[in-house]
Amino acid sequence: HKEYRRQRQMCIRDRDTGVHSLRFKGVDIVDAIINHKRQLALEKGISFEANVELPVNTGIASDDFCVILSNLLDNALEALTRQPQPDSTLHLTIRRIHQFLLIQVTNPCPDNISTRTSKADKRHHGWGLKNVRKIVQKYHGSLEYKVENHSFVVTAMLFFD
């Protein structure tokens, strides 16, 4: 819940400063998070492409959705900031596939990338993905990540009614 409030506050501040924002299906908090992360990416020289088709009334709690989206986008931005790539474009896809909601984040990376943390404080690192995995399991879904074609791809699938 803290992350949800923090993201919402940051995004509202961005809107107040006149940053151009996009609307994705009119789900305010999703719009706010995507626009905030998009702005962060652009400030760091990272292109941001989003293909968002978010169905209405998925039954997925807003704060759960925010934790997933924020963590996956933060991880991709951090990776591209730490190891810039020739094509530094972050891709976000959100769409419905039957009774599943697909959330996929893709960013370029070297083929020999390690999925282990490079941060000094390893004990307090990795909670974001643990929270994402816990939420995905709550919705009887799956979380997978892989490296293919010089890209790191994280895919979360959540079941909804």
Q: Which residue has the higher pLDDT, 139 or 54?
A: 139
Pairing state between β 142-148 and 151-159: antiparallel
Alpha-carbon distance of 20 to 39, in angstroms, equals 9
Query: Pairing state of beta strands 89-97 and 142-148?
Result: unpaired
- From the number of C-beta atoms within 10 Å of its C-beta (0-12, 13-18, 19+), residue 109 rates as middle
Of 133 and 12, the structure prediction assigns the larger pLDDT to 133
Q: What is the mean pLDDT of residues 111-139?
A: 73
CA dihedral (72, 73, 79, 84) in degrees, to 10, reads 150
Say if residue 9's pLDDT is above 80: no
Predicted TM-score (pTM) of the model is 0.79
